[in-house]
């Protein structure tokens, strides 16, 4: 069955690679971008499969108009991909108010609102796939990327909770969590906070590394796009899908550190239970809770 995709940020980076892969597969795409002229190549090659839509994902009215346009044109949306986003590097205290707001608006509030706009259509269909383009930075924090990663951690939390809400509707949610990929994320799309004293060894080192051009990501966006096309057809997609050997290594080290910390402080954690309580997760109520929450 031919699927209809709604992809934000279709004109650049991973979104462009994904749009190309989806169209090549024979599916249809409501391709969104702030500048739809950048989608002309797709329109020329796939005039019957692609519908370009102008969209600034930070504009709520445009989001709902774009989703309505896509449904009116194609009749449905089967796969939503929240891809639009950008990064910013700097010390947490150094970001301007505008930089903080732009990170949260684009990387967190926007995918939440796009998802909320698409959900009523998927609910009526009793089917759908939602792919949230998060980041390994939505699972592991690193110096210099506090605002970007705050947004991505938030997106992962939203998506994980959402997946449990919509499971009975046959709507499946996956957080795509790439490491470094060969897009312009760390290049022309990257912006920086003002430099301030005291962070030379942490944030300063990351900034110099990115600005030097020495960072050569291992990830191939075209290969990632193929994985996502295949994922949309998988009967049991994962909730989290980490992409790239760099991301795998980062996550494995972080998980080991977290587990060690949990065990080290376990007795302190358990000491805060009320004296009259039994261990929650060993209790009947705790077991019911685990079943209900899918823990």
Nearest C-alpha neighbor of 248 from the set 179, 158, 156, 175: 179
Q: Choosing from 16, 28, 152, 172, which is the catalytic residue?
A: 152
Q: Is 223 a catalytic residue?
A: no
201 CB neighbour count, 10 Å cutoff? 8
Strand-pairing partners, residue 53, are 32
**Helix 60-74 / helix 110-125 crossing angle, nearest 10 deg:** 30
Under DSSP, the state recorded for 108 is I
**3-state DSSP call for residue 81?**
strand
Tokens of 175: 């957080």
- Is 134 tagged catalytic? yes
Cβ–Cβ < 8 Å for 143, 204:
no
What pairing do the DSSP bridges indicate for beta strands 88-89 and 128-133? Answer: unpaired
CA dist., res. 250 & res. 231, Å (int): 23
Annotated active-site residue in 10, 11, 17, 134: 134
Q: Where are the beta strands (DSSP E) in the chain?
A: 4-7, 28-33, 50-54, 79-82, 88-89, 128-133, 171-178, 191-192, 240-243
Cα-based angle 142, 129, 27 (whole degrees, multiple of 5): 110
- Considering the candidates 17, 148, 156, 159, report the single residue annotated as catalytic: 148
Both tokens of 162, joined, read 């959402």
The question of whether 188 is a catalytic residue gets the answer: no
Catalytic residue positions, numbered:
134, 148, 152
């Amino acid at each position: 069955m031919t699927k209809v995709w709604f992809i934000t940020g279709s004109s650049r980076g991973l979104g462009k690679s994904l749009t190309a892969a989806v169209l090549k597969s024979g599916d249809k795409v409501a391709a969104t971008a702030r500048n739809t002229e950048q989608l002309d190549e797709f329109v020329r090659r796939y005039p019957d499969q692609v519908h370009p839509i102008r969209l600034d994902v930070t504009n709520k009215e445009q989001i709902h108009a774009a989703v309505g346009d896509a449904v009116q044109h194609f009749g449905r949306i089967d796969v939503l991909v929240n891809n639009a986003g950008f990064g910013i590097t700097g010390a947490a205290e150094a970001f301007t108010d505008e930089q903080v707001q732009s990170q949260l608006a684009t990387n967190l509030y926007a995918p939440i609102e796009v998802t909320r706009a698409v959900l009523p259509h998927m609910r009526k269909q009793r089917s759908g796939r939602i792919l949230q383009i998060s980041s390994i930075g939505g699972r592991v924090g690193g110096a210099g990327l506090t605002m970007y990663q705050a947004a991505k951690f938030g997106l992962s939390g939203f998506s994980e909770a959402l997946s449990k809400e919509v499971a009975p509707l046959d709507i499946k949610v996956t957080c795509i969590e790439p490491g470094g990929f060969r897009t312009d994320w760390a290049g022309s799309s990257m912006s920086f906070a003002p430099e301030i004293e005291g962070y030379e060894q942490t944030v300063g080192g990351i900034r110099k590394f990115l600005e030097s051009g020495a960072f050569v990501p291992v990830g191939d966006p075209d290969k990632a796009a193929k994985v996502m096309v295949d994922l949309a057809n998988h009967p049991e997609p994962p909730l989290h899908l980490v992409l790239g050997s760099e991301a795998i290594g980062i996550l494995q080290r972080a998980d080991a550190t977290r587990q060690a910390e949990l065990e080290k402080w376990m007795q302190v954690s358990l000491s805060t239970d009320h004296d009259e309580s039994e261990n929650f997760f060993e209790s009947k109520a705790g077991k019911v809770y685990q079943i209900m929450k899918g823990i």
